[in-house]
Structure 1
Amino acid sequence: MDLDLSGKTALVTGSTRGIGLATAKGLAAMGAEVVVNGRSEGPVAEAVEAVLNAAPGAVVHGQVADLGTAEGCATLIEAVPGVDILVNNMGIYGPKPFFEIEDADWQEMFDVNVMSGVRLTRHYLKDMLDTKDWGRVVFVSSESGIYIPKEMVHYGMSKSAQLVIARGAAEATKGTNVTVNSVLPGPTWVEAQHDRLTARAKAQGTTLEALTSTMFTERRPASLIQRYATPEEVANMICYVCSKASSATNGAALRVEGGIVTNPF
């Protein structure tokens, strides 16, 4: 299995922590030159150091840009005009009852989770097709794009949109060595999860332990692994799809969600 990415450049958006950081580390370990992205200097610098510690000798760059805006995407594209691998990982989420989701919430979710990937893919995918004979684009979607969470419908909307966009973009790659795929994580225990769940537990008048215990008995009972995935477990799938070994996988939505989605197709 050819997992060597020597000579390839990879851009991982939203890669200062969580799945994005784990993916940047994995791609660097596979030999890729990696561009780490975040919205502020401090976290980006820390992420670059973390990737270098995980993959000594790797070539790693940091690029600060707020990809939730057209201007931020343009800034990143100007600084990094071409890559071989684009991982559209950057995104936001947050539980909110449907009737309390205001227009601004819908718009922010769409701008950050959907339009960032649209803008970057529009540029980098075209460059891959025009100037390279190989390329990979990966959208980090979610099982929430299929199993729409009632506690954050606007998030589910954005993740469903990513699936459609990725499949549509893949149609432009027919007959080439460029692929576009989606990866669908499920509940993943990232660095910020403790604080997020603690705040949610407080708002619901319960404890962190009680809330965590109900994740797989009430909110996601169909999970077959009955636990949170680690960022590294999700990154393993992303890194595989970015590799040369995944050459026959295109236009696919690949699940790494622990079996929550019961539809076998």
Structure 2
Amino acid sequence: MFIDLSGKTALVTGSTGGIGLAAAKGLAGAGARVVVNGRDTERVETAIRAVLDAVPGSDVSGVAIDLGNAGGCDSLIGAVPETDILLNNLGIFGPKPFFEIDDATWETFFQVNVMSGVRLSRAYLPRMMEKGWGRVVFISSESALNIPADMIHYGFTKTALLSLSRGLAKLAAGTGVTVNSVLPGPTMSEGVKEMLKEMAADEGVSIEEAGESFVKSQRPSSVLGRPATVEEVANMIVYACSKQASATSGGALRVDGGVVDSIVP
């Protein structure tokens, strides 16, 4: 399958590393004009260089804005008033015992993981519908379906994204705009590697081996038996953003390595 997104603009939130950066590279490789985003100017500039290194000659720019509040989202919308593809990738995670999660933490997770996508979709989706083409993708997680006992606040936000994307897909029905969620499983992003460092040191193994051990012990239903790479997840994202995915909308597209033990998507 040859995916050609020439002439399309793709805005990828939280794309200075991990899945977001891999998706930005994949979209640029398909010919899209890509806008990367992060909170830190230096990291945004580094991400731009990484996309250009991966796809020489690509059209890539960046905006350094914190989207964890309404003001930041408004600033981004002002800087990038229109886009054809909106990839709501921004998200934070981290294990914490439920009884130690205070209201402020709940609010932070909700604002960053959910409301950033709500605000940006509210701004960009109407114009996509007017033009008769657009793609909105939310990065959810297998944790939306398998709520982790040690990350209930995170799982809650990822479940919310499934409801949001399904509802928006219905709202955009018949307009040529599709809205989907992508559900990665354990993925070797920078954040996960950092989380595995201590485990790897304790066991005297590499981070990759620690990743396999983690999947087998904490996600034993995994068919893959290892964490996915960010590129493997990005492949699904790029497809969901493609013209070829015109009949895929309202979906929860799993790229979880089979962690969710169900034959129904």
Which range, TM-score by smaller chain? over 0.9
- Are 1:122 and 2:126 matched, yes or no? no
Aligned partner of 1:16 in structure 2 is 16
1:1-265 aligned within 5 A: 1-130=1-130, 132-199=131-198, 201=199, 206-207=202-203, 209=205, 212=211, 214-265=213-264
Give every structure 1 segment of 4 or more consecutive aligned residues whose post-TM-superposition deviation is greater than 6 Å. none
Q: Flag the 1:212–1:236 CA change in 2: closer, same or farther, 3 A.
A: closer
CA contact (8 A) 1:19 1:232 kept: yes
Percent identity of the aligned residues? 58
TM-score scaled to structure 2, two decimals?
A: 0.94
CA contact (8 A) 1:149 1:156 kept: yes
Any idea what the Cα deviations from partners look like across 1:79-133, whole Å, max 9, x if unmatched? 0000000000010000011111111111111010000000001111112112x12
Distance across 2 between alignment mates of 1:29 and 1:214: 33
Instruction: Report the Cα offset of residue 195 of structure 1.
Output: 2.2
Distance across 1 between alignment mates of 2:210 and 2:245: 38
| 1:113 alignment partner, SS class | helix
Instruction: Report the Cα offset of residue 208 of structure 1.
Output: 7.0
Distance across 1 between alignment mates of 2:90 and 2:249: 21
Give the aligned residue type for 1:3: I
Instruction: Report the Cα offset of residue 248 of structure 1.
Output: 0.4
| 1:192 alignment partner, SS class | helix
| 1:96 alignment partner, SS class | coil
CA contact (8 A) 2:212 2:225 kept: no
CA contact (8 A) 1:198 1:208 kept: no
TM-score scaled to structure 1, two decimals?
A: 0.94
Q: Flag the 1:173–1:213 CA change in 2: closer, same or farther, 3 A.
A: closer
CA contact (8 A) 1:87 1:137 kept: yes
Instruction: Report the Cα offset of residue 197 of structure 1.
Output: 2.4
Instruction: Report the Cα offset of residue 193 of structure 1.
Output: 2.6
Any idea what the Cα deviations from partners look like across 1:1-58, whole Å, max 9, x if unmatched? 4510000000000000000000000000100000000001000000001101111111
Gaps of 5+ in 1: none
Higher mean Cα deviation, 39-48 or 169-178?
169-178
| 1:254 alignment partner, SS class | strand
Give the aligned residue type for 2:37: N
Distance across 1 between alignment mates of 2:97 and 2:138: 26
